[in-house]
């Protein structure tokens, strides 16, 4: 049985028995085709001939590329994804009895550099929120409420557009968010966000609901001009337009507001575990990356302000 046949049977297993998504199978096929090309260059055409060193050298080649073969170097994240496909193939081969040793089991993916979350200075956030406008059109009321909410409680964009009216308790200044894994949490919101939401629910949402194409309007808080739930893309555009009007040069996404929310809380002295609960992180380790941002900020301030910093 050739390596190409082995890969074909593994992909069939993913499709038929594992029920993998079409995009997942396509990704695995692309990565394993690259693996087959590498092995062919080493004159390896059977699974039992592959060694752990071959798999490690494959990752090295992915990182450095090969100008002679027009192979472009891959990012660490892409290499890690490719290794998942290679590991899956070898694990399946052992389970099926095609080979006795899983040579990819001990091979580790490259560790991607830790990227610090991007956050905005407080005055930049204020400029964006002010740029939404002060008129009382239904759309402006909605956009103002959306952006105030995102920054006030650090909600993910999916959590914000997934809000139902019953999830809001304006009087108590709290909202119920549904996070990853179906986990729910109650988070507080500030006065400006509560006021913006109250104004939108009283004067903005009814007008948008009136434009619904059907008699029944869903329970969603943030509606589009047709009375349906606001889409993720439209919510992104609301923020992008406000940032542009505010004169913010860098790219700003809803997650930027979430990062800014966390960073500004920690800068203000909030406990990291409280921030963890507010963000809905399952582990405090995920939240602790924001502490690195605040330390970096302190270093920058120290370097520019202290007379003997250099």
Is 105 in the active site? Answer: no
219, 165 Cβ separation under 8 angstroms: yes
Active-site residue, 118 included: no
Which of 102, 100, 103, 63 has its CA nearest to residue 82? 63
Q: Is 258 a catalytic residue?
A: yes
Pick the catalytic residue: 124, 173, 258, 264? Answer: 258
Of 211, 91, 196, residue with least CA distance to 148: 196
CB 252 within 8 A of CB 131: no
Active-site residue, from 64, 105, 180, 203: 180
Token digits for 62?
Answer: 């992915």
- Please tell me the distance from the alpha carbon of residue 138 to that of residue 225, in angstroms, as a whole number: 9
226 to 142, 144, 233: CA distances (angstroms): 14, 19, 15
CB count in 10 Å sphere of residue 253: 14
Residue 281 designated active-site = yes
| 156 tagged catalytic | yes
Could you give the C-alpha distances from 49 to 52, 54, 94, 153, in angstroms and in order?
10, 9, 13, 56
Q: By the 8 A CB rule, do 257 and 150 touch?
A: yes
Q: Which entry of 34, 124, 142, 281 is annotated as an active-site residue?
A: 281
Write down the catalytic residue from 156, 173, 205, 259. Answer: 156
User: In DSSP terms, which residues pair with 174 in a beta bridge?
Assistant: 169, 188
What's the CA gap between 25 and 274, in Å, rounded? 40
Write out the catalytic residue numbers. 156, 180, 255, 258, 281, 290
């Amino acid at each position: 049985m050739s390596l190409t046949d082995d890969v074909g049977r593994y992909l069939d297993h993913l499709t038929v028995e594992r029920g993998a998504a079409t995009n997942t199978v396509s990704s695995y096929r692309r990565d394993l085709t690259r693996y087959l090309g590498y092995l062919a260059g080493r004159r390896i055409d059977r699974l039992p001939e592959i060694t752990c060193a071959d798999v490690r050298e494959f990752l090295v080649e992915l990182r450095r590329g090969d100008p002679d073969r027009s192979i472009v170097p891959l990012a660490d994240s892409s290499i890690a994804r490719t290794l998942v496909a290679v590991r899956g193939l070898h694990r399946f081969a052992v389970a099926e009895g095609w080979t006795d040793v899983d040579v990819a089991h001990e091979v580790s993916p490259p560790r991607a550099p830790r990227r610090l979350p991007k956050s905005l200075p407080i005055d930049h956030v204020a400029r964006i929120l002010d740029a939404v406008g002060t008129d009382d059109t239904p759309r402006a009321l909605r956009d103002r409420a959306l952006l105030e909410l995102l920054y006030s409680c650090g909600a993910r964009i999916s959590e914000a557009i997934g809000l139902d009216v019953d999830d809001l308790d304006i009087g108590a200044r709290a909202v119920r968010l549904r996070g990853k894994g179906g986990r729910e949490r109650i988070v507080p919101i500030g006065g400006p966000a509560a006021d913006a939401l109250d104004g939108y629910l009283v004067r903005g949402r009814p007008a948008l609901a009136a434009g619904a194409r059907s008699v029944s309007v869903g329970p969603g808080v943030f509606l589009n001009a047709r009375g349906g739930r606001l889409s993720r893309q439209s919510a992104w555009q609301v923020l992008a337009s406000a940032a542009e009007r505010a004169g913010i040069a860098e790219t700003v996404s809803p997650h930027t507001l979430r990062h800014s929310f966390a960073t500004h809380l920690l800068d203000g002295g909030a406990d990291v575990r409280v921030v963890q609960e507010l963000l809905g992180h399952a582990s405090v380790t995920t939240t602790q990356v924001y502490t690195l941002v605040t330390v970096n900020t302190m270093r920058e301030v120290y370097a520019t302000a202290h007379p003997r910093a250099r």
